[in-house]
Amino acid sequence: MPYAPGFPIPPSSPPRAPLNAAAPKSLLITGVTGLLGATLIRDLLLDGRSLAVVVRRSRKQSAAARVEAIMVHWEKTLGKRLPRPTVLEGDLTRPLCGLDADARRWVGEHCDELLNNAASLTFRGSDRAEEPWRTNVTGISQVLALARETGLRHVHHVSTAYVCGLRSGLVMEDDLDVGQPFGNDYERTKVEGEKLVRAAAEPAGGFLDTATVYRPSIIVGDSSTGWTSTYHGLFAGLRLGHTLLTKVTKGTTSGPALLGLIGVALHDTKNFVPVDWVSAVIAHAVQTPSARGTTYHLTHPEPLLMDMVGRLIQQAVESYSQDASPDDPDLCDEQWFADNLGTQLDIYKSYLRNDPTFDRSHTAAIAGHLPCPPLDMPTLMKMAKFAIDHEFGRKSPWLAAAETSPAPMQARRASEGIR
Ligand SMILES: NC(=O)c1ccc[n+]([C@@H]2O[C@H](COP(=O)([O-])OP(=O)(O)OC[C@H]3O[C@@H](n4cnc5c(N)ncnc54)[C@H](OP(=O)(O)O)[C@@H]3O)[C@@H](O)[C@H]2O)c1
89 lines ligand 1 (CB under 6 A): no
- Ligand 1, atom 31: closest residue by C-alpha: 92
Closest ligand 1 atom number to CA of residue 278 = 10
Residue 338 CA to ligand 1 centre (angstroms): 30
Whose CA is closest to atom 21 on ligand 1? 34
Q: Which atom of ligand 1 is nearest to the CA of 33?
A: 43
Q: How far is the CA of 252 from the centre of ligand 1 (A)?
A: 37
122 lines ligand 1 (CB under 6 A): no
User: In terms of C-beta distances under 8 Å and separation of at least 24 residues, what long-range contacts does 318-324 make, across chains too?
Assistant: 318/245, 319/381, 319/385, 320/384, 320/385, 320/388, 320/389, 321/241, 321/242, 321/245, 321/246, 321/388, 322/246, 323/245, 323/246, 323/250, 324/245, 324/246, 324/247, 324/248, 324/249, 324/250
**pLDDT tens digit sequence for 53-71:** 999 999 999 999 999 999 9
For the Cβ of 314 lying below 6 angstroms from any atom of ligand 1, the answer is no
Per-residue pLDDT reduced to its tens digit, 268-299: 999 999 999 999 999 999 999 999 999 999 99
Neighbours of 67 (CB within 10 A): 25
pLDDT in tens, 216-226: 999 999 999 99
CA 219 – ligand 1 centroid, Å: 11
Q: Is 56 in the pocket of ligand 1 (CB under 6 A)?
A: yes
Looking at the predicted structure, is the pLDDT value of residue 400 above 50? yes
pTM for the model:
0.89
pLDDT score for 35: 97
Query: Is the CB of residue 274 below 6 angstroms from any atom belonging to ligand 1?
Result: no
What pLDDT was estimated at residue 344? 64
Q: What is the pLDDT of residue 339?
A: 65
CB 213 within 8 A of CB 296: yes
> Ligand 1: which atom is nearest the Cα of residue 97?
32
What tens digit of pLDDT does each residue of 345-386 get? 666 676 778 899 999 999 999 999 999 999 999 999 999 999
36 in any annotated domain: yes
pLDDT score at 224? 97
Distance from the CA of 18 to the center of ligand 1, in angstroms?
32
Nearest CA to ligand 1 atom 7: 160
Tens digit of pLDDT for each residue in 125-152? Answer: 999 999 999 999 999 999 999 999 999 9
Would 309 be classed as within a structural domain? no
Is 232 contained in some domain? no
142 close to ligand 1 (CB < 6 Angstrom): no
The CA 137 to ligand 1 mean position distance, Å, reads 13
Q: Higher confidence at residue 63 or residue 11?
A: 63
Residue 123 CB less than 6 A away from ligand 1: no
Q: Is the pLDDT of residue 90 over 60?
A: yes
Ligand 1 contact, 57 CB (< 6 A): no
What's the CATH code of the domain at 88? 3.40.50.720
The dihedral over CA atoms of 217, 396, 53, 80, expressed in degrees to the nearest 10, equals: -100
Specify the ligand 1 atom closest to the Cα of 135: 31
* Residue 335 placed within a domain: no
Cβ of residue 158 lying under 6 Å from some atom of ligand 1: yes
- DSSP sequence for 190-236: HHHHHHHHHHHT-TTT---SEEEEEEE-EEE--TTT---S---THHH
Q: What domain range includes position 145?
A: 26-222+271-302+355-372+396-415
Tell which atom from ligand 1 comes closest to the C-alpha of 118.
Answer: 24
pLDDT for position 3: 30
Q: Would you say residue 325 lies in a domain?
A: no
Please classify residue 291 by burial: count the beta carbons closer than 10 Å to its beta carbon, then call 0-12 exposed, 13-18 middle and 19+ buried. Answer: buried
Average pLDDT of span 41-62: 97
Residue 144 falls within a domain, yes or no? yes
Helical pair 234-245 and 377-389, crossing angle rounded to 10 deg: 60
Ligand 1 test: best mutation among 32, 33, 62, most atoms within 8 Å of CB? Answer: 33
Question: Does residue 99 form part of some domain?
Answer: yes
Average pLDDT across the chain, whole number: 87
Number of domains in the chain: 1
What pLDDT sits at residue 304? 95
pLDDT at 22: 61
Using CA positions, which residue lies closest to atom 22 of ligand 1? Answer: 34
Atom of ligand 1 nearest to the CA of 116: 45
Q: What is the Cα Rg of the chain in Å?
A: 22
Q: Assess if residue 344 is contained within a domain.
A: no
Q: Is the CB of 35 under 6 A from ligand 1?
A: yes
Ligand 1: centre distance to CA 162 (Å): 15
Q: Is 237 in the pocket of ligand 1 (CB under 6 A)?
A: no
